[in-house]
Structure 1
Amino acid sequence: MDRQMILSRGSEMGVRGLQGFVGSTCPHVCTAVNFKELAEQHRSQHPGCTPTVVVDAMCCLRYWYTPESWVCGGQWREYFAALRDFVQAFTTVGIKLVFFFDGMVEQGKRAVWVRRRLKNNREIARIFHYIKSHREQPGRNMFFIPSGLAIFTRFALKTLGQETLCSLQEADYEVATYGLQNNCLGILGEDTDYLIYDTCPYFSISELCLDSLDTVMLCRERLCESLELSLADLPVLACLLGNDTVPEGMFESFRFQCLSSYTSMKENADKRGNVILAVADHIAKVLRLHQGEKKLEEMLPLGQNKALFYKGVASYLLPGQTSPWIFQKPKGVTTLGKQIVSMSTDPEFEPESLVCTHPESKEETPLCTHPETEQEDPMNMEPEMKQQVTMVSDTEILKVARAQHVQAESYLVYGVMSSGEIECSNTLEDALDQALPSQAFVYRPMRQRVYSLLLGAGGDGASSGPVIREWFVHSGNPLRHPDLVRPLPMHVPGGTPSLKVLWLSQEPGVEARRMDTLLACLDLSASREELQAVESPFQALCCLLTYLFVQVDTLCLEDLHAFIAQALCLQGKSAGQLMDLQLEHVDSRAVQLGSLLVRGLSMLVLVNSACGFPWSNSDFMPWNVFDGKLFHEKYLQSEKGCPAEVLVEQNRSRLTRFHDLKSIVCKACMREDRRIVSRQHWRPHHPGRWEKPGSSSHRTNSGHSRSGRGQHWRAQGPGSRQREPDRWRRHSPSSGGT
């Protein structure tokens, strides 16, 4: 595999143009090193201290995903084995790994997040065009990480016994802080911001050879020598060049002026490289002349961008660090998103508000504030008292949610409770396939019930409950604004328990209440006896399949057969056997179904953590219940009309279990007035799409066809904001018609 090619396809992270500049113009900044030798040096210099590498996990996902097949939904057992090998390579030489994952998108960086998501949409469209044209997986030049890879990597690493943390702000800041404060051997990642932070050494994941543990260290001191700058100058350089805080175009004319007056052009540097040299020269020879005498805004054309520029510079200051470029002596602390940094008290420098109101709505989400201190949470970066704006007032419950978030034990829960805002990145979905709805809509009713559990619903139902801002990528959504979504009332037998009961109580019978609440989140309370009787790991899968088939009318019996058969056959297969599996061809619909199911498994992480963990996480980890290539094989067989015996590979015990699981799902769906039928009973609607007479592709909670009211599911996109509550309520026998 050409790792460098795969990694380079990701959007450039950090300072614009710096990665290419270092590689082409300043190659001496990169030094070949060996982790085993570095660890031995570290032990000799720091006796009794374990050499620790802090890993920016989000930068490493492409490196870690080594399976050849990636388009079918993920080769999860192969991936788990690759992660195990990665961890083992470091632990063998006595190096401890600490993994950080992004936990929040800061408001100031939402535009960058959106831009990358829209770029990914274009890449996904090309992937589906290729699949439909060639009936095979595209080459590695079009590689796209499987949906849900980040969330399940967290749990895989925890399963492997690794310390895994989820950030409360931008992950690179926490990675750099952890590396500095814990005297780490270094940072492993692929983000040029690590060349700007004044922290421990920075190593490249893309250059890592796992067998030898050789890699490249990017030395910020050598970068400073090349640019004739000091370490304290690097944040100013980063902001003038453009980064994830300061848009690249903001200082384009300034950079051009620097280049025009720069006289030491390097022949081995391209235009962008010479721009970097010119800007660095301006900092060293012009700005430094008045440093300490004039403010930066008197020397730079900051204008109305003054606050954003200072925020960008301050964002590189780790706890306890100051910048000579911030003129006034700090008189306090300013909250920047989720981050606290010491900086100037310039009256024009205002922090971004954590409270967001939709531009088309005059409603404002009811919020609460409460103080938090560093003593309560070791992940806090500053000891000063701060006020955090949250959606809930119960500090004890919020503290539990925060701790579970930091320890990477939950998913989305803390975002809902703290800021009322969550996001979900791209999914391998075909924008041209009108028969299958986006996962963003399919799992929204499930999320809405979780919102009700976490935040409570209004007295008259969903119409007056708190508003959640969802940034979910789906076809046709330009992501200019979040979708505003309200909670759905829950119907838990015996009443909805409080979060204190679900999360903290050890009383007898609480486990049963947790499971009842989980099934209510999926609106499956009517079938709880049958579903709870299913053994692990198939219980969670049956619940998800029932939910999925009730929600999506265009799923047929053949699809159900494929989902169940692959889960059963997976139990007896090794990663090596799955690797050797060869597909007759690749089907675009099966690709989308694979991603749809995996996204559903990630939603089970949300539901399970919100309900107090009634299930063991292993029950719905994809390496235990799903393999993309195996599902694809079963899908193709099922489409051909192969009998169940063939689908379960002539295994008698599997065949019995196959019919049992199928029966449970079909009966549970029938209770929701959803009869799963064979595709043979359908009629062709148009080429590439099949539709049951009188059905829609996505059921609403009232059980009626959305398209029957002239509103197709794709119309639920960016133009539609708050939904009427009844549109998402399905009247089941267990809910009493409410």
Structure 2
Amino acid sequence: MGIKGLQGFVAGVCPDACRTVDLREMAEKHRVEHPDFPPVIVVDAMSCVRHWYTPETWVCGGQWREYLASLENFIKVFMAAGIKLVFYFDGVVEEKKRNEWIKRRLQNNKEIARIFQFIKTHRKQPGREMFVVPSALPTFTRFALKSLGQKTVCTLQEADFEVAAYGLQHNCVGILGQDSDYLIYNTCPYFSIEKLRLDTLVTVMYSREDLCRALGLSLTHLPLFACLLGNDVVPESLLEGFWHKCLVTSPHKKNSYSRRANILLAVADYISKVPCSYSSLKRLEEMLPLGSDKTLLCRGVESYLLPGQQSPWIPPDMRSCQMVSLQQQSTLCQDKEIFQLAKEQHIQSENYSIFNILCNGGTECSNSLEDECDREIPGQALIYRPARQHIYAVLLESGKGGAYPLVKEWFVYFGNPLQQPELIQPVQPSVPGGTPNLKTLWFAKGPDVEKQRYSTFLACFHLEDGMEELQALEAPVAAFCCLLAYLMMQLAQVDSRAVHLGAVFVRGLTTLLMANSACGFPFRMEDLMPWEVFDGKLFQEKYQQSHQGCSLEELLEGNESLYAPFQNLKSLICKACMAKKRTIQSRPRGSGFFTGTQQREFNPRFQQTHRSSFVPPYHNQMRGFLWRNPQPQGRQYESGHPDRRRRFHLPPRSLR
């Protein structure tokens, strides 16, 4: 997650450490110097997603087809330059970094609250200065890149370590990202995604060597320098006294830099006078108020040492194993075959959340674009908890007396202070004939097993009685119907809160991914992607039309061929809700919200209150997905699925 202020310090105080480079030229130089190693750039994808998301509308849940096209264009530019990309995603939140994760999630809550306040005041999307990525964007980016033929890795520990290790071990041209920790690791060059000009492949390379010269340090000093500034291992709150001591004796104290810049200079000056030895490190640990944990500084320095690297600060016999070693005895899954498959699928970005649940009995979910002031719609974490409880029961074996192990959830929603994980009880789903064991779901073959996988998936969403009708639909449409019917059962009354609902819907798709992974993939993962069923901008427009009282013909844009399938799908969803004794009500309210740049007059009809039956509007495929949302041209879309452009799509529109 980086060192606070270091990136800005390098740009402002050490400009010689910021070199403008042409990645095409660097790749060509790499070919000459290393003919046996094709030019590869390893990408810290988690720090890049906000830069990849370029579609106009972001607040309504995402314009997913346009985002997919943006990713494909990004890849094509590098391919044209002969550069291979390898994408890394965080696959776990390490417990030693949990406090920092919580701190950032709570800060994100404040940012999201400001966004909703802006929407309520101005009835339009905020500017890019308030931008937050659409909910679940990193999750779906993994699957998008994989569908576009890219090597995509989901990590077993914090991504920055694995990225730095991969870059060093595979002699990469460099690392592309935006994390100042890459200035600390002794690895390949570090390139800025923020400064990248995609049209020219020119960006800024941050030089560790030039930074060290400016600070009077060596590369060996950098891990200790990072720890004494505060990082994900050593909290800043423990260092204030040490910083004050450094500032008092610093030769730089009379300059005009910011306080943070002066702290960086003062700490560097202090470290430069400390002998590089383990005994020096121990004296520093005694000086700092580390409480009972006197190994914090040692562990912080060690966290920057890549495989095969040594440090004078830590004797070789004092080093623990930095690369994660997953012993079976530390997991909830005792079946080695199941555990190994889950691990392989996790690393290869083929499943979702399953490995973490089987490995350490826990899972987490970051912020969603939800309005904490709107108490009538629960947070998505609570809406989908019943489904997750069923998924946990599918994954985990019950013990004596039928009791399941509790699952630790770190889910962000209003009212959850994140002081400790919530312990969730798995609940057996109502699968006809009983829930199959994981060995059957994952490894058995044959039509009966295919049916079991599908029925178990549906049971996770309380839809086990609708199997025949759902199986008759195309897979993306069936998945959409599962999710919408489940939402209708959870939200008996829905209002015109389309921004909040868009986030809830997209997070629901990740719950489908989790269920699909647990049940042995009754659906192809690509059938559950948001670009198959959802567009945030169109959802917002149709939602508002619905609340204005538009007729079915207007909502379907006069396309008569859609009337019958629409009515059939509407009946299916309503039937599923009625079976669970759910009455769907409408309570439209009046505030308009516009995503376009043009100004529109406020329509008083938005304030009319009227009640009607549930009418989720449908979508003109030609209008919505061909000229609004460009279709990517990746390999998977050109071959293997010749009818993908003509498929029958059902994007969610309105919940009335």
Normalized against structure 1, the TM-score is what?
0.77
Matched, 1:138 2:77: no
d(CA) in 1 for partners of 2:421 and 2:511? 19
Superposed, 1:102-141 pairs within 5 Å as: 102-141=90-129
**Structure 1, unaligned stretches of length 5 or more?**
1-12, 335-339, 342-380, 557-586, 682-686, 693-738
The residue aligned with 2:237 is 249
Residues 25 and 268, structure 1, Cα contact 8 Å, conserved in 2: no
Of 343, 353, 357, the match for 1:416:
357
d(CA) in 2 for partners of 1:601 and 1:73? 12
The residue aligned with 2:338 is 397
d(CA) in 2 for partners of 1:190 and 1:394? 39
What secondary structure, in the 3-state scheme, does the structure 2 residue paired with 1:537 have? Answer: helix
Residues 184 and 222, structure 2, Cα contact 8 Å, conserved in 1: yes
The residue aligned with 1:657 is 565
Deviation at 1:657, TM superposition (A): 1.4
What secondary structure, in the 3-state scheme, does the structure 2 residue paired with 1:417 have? Answer: helix
The residue aligned with 2:226 is 238
Superposed, 1:349-364 pairs within 5 Å as: none
Deviation at 1:458, TM superposition (A): 5.2
Superposed, 1:298-377 pairs within 5 Å as: 298-300=283-285, 301-302=287-288, 303-304=290-291, 305-326=293-314, 328-330=315-317, 334=320, 340-341=321-322
Is the alpha carbon distance of 1:117 and 1:689 closer, same or farther for their aligned partners in structure 2, counting shifts above 3 Å? farther
Of 281, 290, 295, the match for 1:296:
281
d(CA) in 1 for partners of 2:583 and 2:266? 68
Matched, 1:638 2:546: yes
Of 514, 520, 527, the match for 2:459:
520
Of 368, 380, 383, the match for 1:427:
368
Is the alpha carbon distance of 1:691 and 1:606 closer, same or farther for their aligned partners in structure 2, counting shifts above 3 Å? farther
Supply the AA of the counterpart residue of 1:256.
H
The residue aligned with 1:608 is 516
Deviation at 1:449, TM superposition (A): 0.4
Deviation at 1:45, TM superposition (A): 1.0
What secondary structure, in the 3-state scheme, does the structure 1 residue paired with 2:197 have? Answer: coil
Of 566, 578, 584, the match for 1:676:
584
Is the alpha carbon distance of 1:257 and 1:631 closer, same or farther for their aligned partners in structure 2, counting shifts above 3 Å? same
Matched, 1:499 2:445: no
Deviation at 1:70, TM superposition (A): 0.7
What secondary structure, in the 3-state scheme, does the structure 1 residue paired with 2:117 have? Answer: helix
The residue aligned with 2:498 is 590
Is the alpha carbon distance of 1:386 and 1:536 closer, same or farther for their aligned partners in structure 2, counting shifts above 3 Å? closer
Is the alpha carbon distance of 1:602 and 1:299 closer, same or farther for their aligned partners in structure 2, counting shifts above 3 Å? closer
Deviation at 1:616, TM superposition (A): 1.3
The residue aligned with 2:429 is 490
Residues 554 and 691, structure 1, Cα contact 8 Å, conserved in 2: no
Residues 104 and 169, structure 1, Cα contact 8 Å, conserved in 2: yes
The residue aligned with 1:437 is 378
Matched, 1:51 2:39: yes
Is the alpha carbon distance of 1:203 and 1:268 closer, same or farther for their aligned partners in structure 2, counting shifts above 3 Å? farther
| 474-483 or 295-304, which deviates more | 295-304
The residue aligned with 1:465 is 404
- 1:199-241 deviation line (CA, Å, top 9, x unaligned): 1110000000000000000011111111121111100000000
Supply the AA of the counterpart residue of 2:556.
V
Structure with the greater relative contact order (CA < 8 A, sep ≥ 6): 1 or 2? Answer: 2
Deviation at 1:266, TM superposition (A): 7.2
Supply the AA of the counterpart residue of 2:558.
Q
The residue aligned with 1:573 is none
d(CA) in 2 for partners of 1:401 and 1:209? 38
d(CA) in 2 for partners of 1:191 and 1:61? 13
Is the alpha carbon distance of 1:526 and 1:387 closer, same or farther for their aligned partners in structure 2, counting shifts above 3 Å? closer
Residues 554 and 690, structure 1, Cα contact 8 Å, conserved in 2: no
Deviation at 1:385, TM superposition (A): 8.9
The residue aligned with 1:378 is none
Residues 588 and 609, structure 2, Cα contact 8 Å, conserved in 1: no
d(CA) in 1 for partners of 2:583 and 2:264? 64
Is the alpha carbon distance of 1:329 and 1:40 closer, same or farther for their aligned partners in structure 2, counting shifts above 3 Å? closer
- 1:471-497 deviation line (CA, Å, top 9, x unaligned): 111112111111110100122222222
Is the alpha carbon distance of 1:266 and 1:59 closer, same or farther for their aligned partners in structure 2, counting shifts above 3 Å? farther
Deviation at 1:43, TM superposition (A): 0.8
The residue aligned with 1:709 is none
Matched, 1:260 2:248: yes
Residues 435 and 690, structure 1, Cα contact 8 Å, conserved in 2: no
Deviation at 1:50, TM superposition (A): 1.5
Is the alpha carbon distance of 1:625 and 1:206 closer, same or farther for their aligned partners in structure 2, counting shifts above 3 Å? same
The residue aligned with 2:154 is 166
What secondary structure, in the 3-state scheme, does the structure 1 residue paired with 2:493 have? Answer: coil
Is the alpha carbon distance of 1:105 and 1:680 closer, same or farther for their aligned partners in structure 2, counting shifts above 3 Å? closer
Normalized against structure 2, the TM-score is what?
0.87
d(CA) in 2 for partners of 1:690 and 1:426? 32
d(CA) in 1 for partners of 2:399 and 2:277? 55
Indicate the percent of aligned positions where both proteins have the same amino acid.
54
Is the alpha carbon distance of 1:511 and 1:668 closer, same or farther for their aligned partners in structure 2, counting shifts above 3 Å? same
Is the alpha carbon distance of 1:273 and 1:26 closer, same or farther for their aligned partners in structure 2, counting shifts above 3 Å? same
d(CA) in 2 for partners of 1:385 and 1:74? 36
Deviation at 1:410, TM superposition (A): 1.2
**Structure 2, unaligned stretches of length 5 or more?**
590-605, 612-656
Supply the AA of the counterpart residue of 1:649.
E
What secondary structure, in the 3-state scheme, does the structure 2 residue paired with 1:448 have? Answer: helix
d(CA) in 2 for partners of 1:35 and 1:592? 40
d(CA) in 1 for partners of 2:254 and 2:206? 21
What secondary structure, in the 3-state scheme, does the structure 2 residue paired with 1:32 have? Answer: strand
- 1:478-531 deviation line (CA, Å, top 9, x unaligned): 111111101001222222222122112233422111111111111211111112
Supply the AA of the counterpart residue of 1:674.
R
d(CA) in 2 for partners of 1:58 and 1:98? 13
d(CA) in 1 for partners of 2:607 and 2:219? 59
Residues 436 and 552, structure 1, Cα contact 8 Å, conserved in 2: yes
Deviation at 1:678, TM superposition (A): 4.4
Residues 47 and 179, structure 2, Cα contact 8 Å, conserved in 1: yes
